[in-house]
Amino acid sequence: MGRLFSPVLFLMAMLPAILAIDIGIPGLQCQCPKPCEIDLHYYLHQFRARTDPKSNEDYIVSGTNAAGFGTTIVHDWSLTTGPNATDTIVGRAQGFHMQAAQTSTIWYTTHNIIFQDRFAGSTLQVMGIIDGAELSANGGQWSIIGGTGKFVKASGIVSVKAIKTEFVEWVRELNIKVSYAPENSSSGYGYNGYDGCN
């Protein structure tokens, strides 16, 4: 019995040292690329429904209770490089927002950020709530739950801060932190450790 366990115990004791050796055999090396990360800074312009000819949203459903519960609005908000609506447009946030609380003002929002600038052909899928946190000093947050084009397998966070809250127009400052799969020119995205981050 003692002889049987001696080789097994020896191999188990040596296993960490064996695993630590880089034997350089293709196929045994990690094929896991590091995700690309990028920080983007833009401004989102909401021209409220039925308030202005420039409105970039419209009602689908109007809620009937005092808080407007169930009110649903489709939007096509512009994304610019600066805080003015006349600054360069780099994309659009196309989706909807819905009054999701019965007794307070909390809007659920989801939209695709469709880029028109250096990331043309790429999108980020974003969702979150508009609940007044964006008016605070710290602002609010939305989740990045996916993407296409340059931003395949995207995840991250959008920090949202309202900087203009007029009856007709709201402007939100967006700080976008996104991680995504690196592009591999030979086999698509996210393989072979290729550093395709740009």
- Spell out the per-residue pLDDT of the chain, length 198, in tens: 555 567 777 767 777 766 666 566 565 556 666 889 999 999 999 999 988 888 999 999 999 888 899 999 999 999 999 999 999 999 999 999 999 999 999 999 999 999 999 999 999 999 999 998 898 988 999 999 999 999 999 999 999 999 999 999 999 999 999 999 987 644 455 444 445 676
The Cα–Cα gap between 89 and 75 comes to 16
Per CATH, the homologous superfamily of domain 36-184 is Allene oxide cyclase-like (2.40.480.10)
Cβ atoms of residues 137 and 15 within 8 Å = no
| pLDDT at residue 113, as a whole number | 99
| pLDDT at residue 132, as a whole number | 86
Look up tokens 């203009």; give the residue.
164
Cβ atoms of residues 166 and 28 within 8 Å = no
| pLDDT at residue 97, as a whole number | 97
| pLDDT at residue 51, as a whole number | 82
| pLDDT at residue 13, as a whole number | 74
The Cα–Cα gap between 7 and 4 comes to 7
Cα three-residue angle 136-140-145, rounded to 5 degrees: 175
The Cα–Cα gap between 51 and 55 comes to 7
The Cα–Cα gap between 164 and 166 comes to 6
| pLDDT at residue 20, as a whole number | 62
pTM for this entry: 0.78
